Amino acid sequence: MGFYEDRLLEFRNQLKKRGYAVRVAEAAVPDALACPVTVGFPSALLGDKTLIAVPDVHLSDGSEGDIFLAGDPGNAKRFTDTLGAINDYLESDPNTFLLQLGDWYDVWRAIGHDATQAQYAAIDNTPGYQQLLDLDKELGMAHLIGNHDASFLHALPDRRVADGNLFRFGMGLMKSNGRVFAIHGHQTDDIEGVPSPDSDQRVVWLGTLAAKYLTSEARHLQNFLDQEGASAAAAFDWLKALIGINRPDPVPKPRPRKQAPDGFTGSFVEREDQASLVNIVIDACKKRYGTPDPLELLVVGHSHKPCVSWTPHPQSGKPVIVVDAGSWVQGAAQILFGAGNRVSVFDIVKAP
């Protein structure tokens, strides 16, 4: 048994105590065939360390428009149990880096304005979130800052107010001097530096508000608005059209397959904006480390769709592996687990 398998077995055992198991996540591809989200490196990139990354969670106000709960209180229990399993795992393997990849809070949906508003009471006081928020503090979990919780730049929730050093837009991992890095992944959405106009920010809240009154089939209208970039006027048109009408959520577009780079194992796809994200991180590492080692692994979230991809390093031409860890929204429950020479994204499922 290798180091990765040994560490994964311990994590599985901790989940099993709570009635859960892991299953390798599948990336959405056009041919609809299996595309497992796991990658083997030619060497032990992570060495004797373990990396656990929790993707987008989007904790909101517990209402029908809360895309983390998605109308099912069991989603909060599953996440709480997963954090509990991580907490116990850390006791057996303190040489673990634990990171949440951004959009921990969904300030847009909960507050109804832009993500610089630091009014967290609607989220902090949601009854079903109390234990998981306490665990977040107990774990001392590091957090990236995403586009839906950019307010963390200005103020942190009460439980984490003293942990400002653990909330950043980007983070070097595993003391790797820039070889392993993580960002939320929204950085290319407004790469020119133009903030989202107020009308777009209001659209996100409008979809959430509407979800409290629309049928369950239309509960996640705001997700359509997010993806389509609707204007405020278009949002009102959609609201009028959808009242009393059941329509399914939009289906995420599959990503095209991509050949694996030499020396690596896994099923690869073409993730959008990956070359731009890699360039952003390389520039950030130059400022952070002075003389960084070449980037080899970039971990991101934001898209809510797990996958493994790669792009050539702009200087060396060697593969930079990009792993998208998925999300915990709309019933998804995904987590990135890496050790030694392998990184995988798993679905958290009920144990057999």
Summarised one tens digit per residue, pLDDT across range 88-146 is: 999 999 999 999 999 999 887 787 655 555 679 999 999 999 999 999 999 999 999 88
Rounded mean pLDDT of 151-174? 90
**Closest C-alpha to 95, from 129, 61, 52, 156:** 52
Residue 252: predicted pLDDT: 59
The proportion of the chain whose per-residue pLDDT surpasses 70, expressed as a percent, equals: 80
Between CA 138 and CA 62, with CA 151 as vertex, the angle to 5 degrees is 65
Residue 307: predicted pLDDT: 97
- Alpha-carbon distance of 257 to 32, in angstroms, equals 11
Q: Give Cα separations from 155 to 83, 126, 139, 297 (angstroms).
A: 24, 19, 20, 30
CB atoms within 10 A of CB 236: 14
Angle, in degrees to the nearest 10, between helices 232-242 and 221-228: 150
**Closest C-alpha to 73, from 140, 132, 157:** 132
Residue 288: predicted pLDDT: 84
As a three-state string, the secondary structure of the chain is CCHHHHHHHHHHHHHHCCCEEEEECECCCCCCCCCECEEECCCCCCCCCEEEEECECCECCCCCCCCCCCCCCHHHHHHHHHHHHHHHHHHHCCCEEEEECCCCECHHHHHCCCCCCCCCHHHHCCHHHHHHHHHHHHHCCEEECCCCCHHHHCCCCHHHCCCHHHEECEEECCCCCCCEEEECCCCCCCCCCCCCCHHHHHHHHHHHHHHCCCCHHHCCHHHHHHHHCCCHHHHHHHHHHHCCCCCCCCCCCCCCEECCCCCCEECEECCCCHHHHHHHHHHHHHHHHCCCCCCCEEEECCCCCCEEEEEECCCCCCEEEEEECCECCCCCCEEEEEECCEEEEEEEEECC
Note whether 7 and 339 are within 8 A (CB). yes
- Alpha-carbon distance of 221 to 66, in angstroms, equals 11
Q: Give the largest Cα separation in the chain, rounded.
A: 59
Residue 233: predicted pLDDT: 53
Rounded mean pLDDT of 251-258? 84
Ordered structural domains, the chain, with CATH: 3-193+254-350 (3.60.21)
Average pLDDT of the chain is 85
The proportion of the chain whose per-residue pLDDT surpasses 90, expressed as a percent, equals: 66
* Greater pLDDT, 255 or 169: 255
Rounded mean pLDDT of 193-222? 47
Residues 6+ apart with CB under 8 A from 166: 140, 141, 142, 143, 160
Summarised one tens digit per residue, pLDDT across range 81-93 is: 999 999 999 999 9
CB atoms within 10 A of CB 202: 17
Q: What is the pTM of this model?
A: 0.85
Q: Give Cα separations from 122 to 24, 64, 66 (angstroms).
A: 34, 14, 11
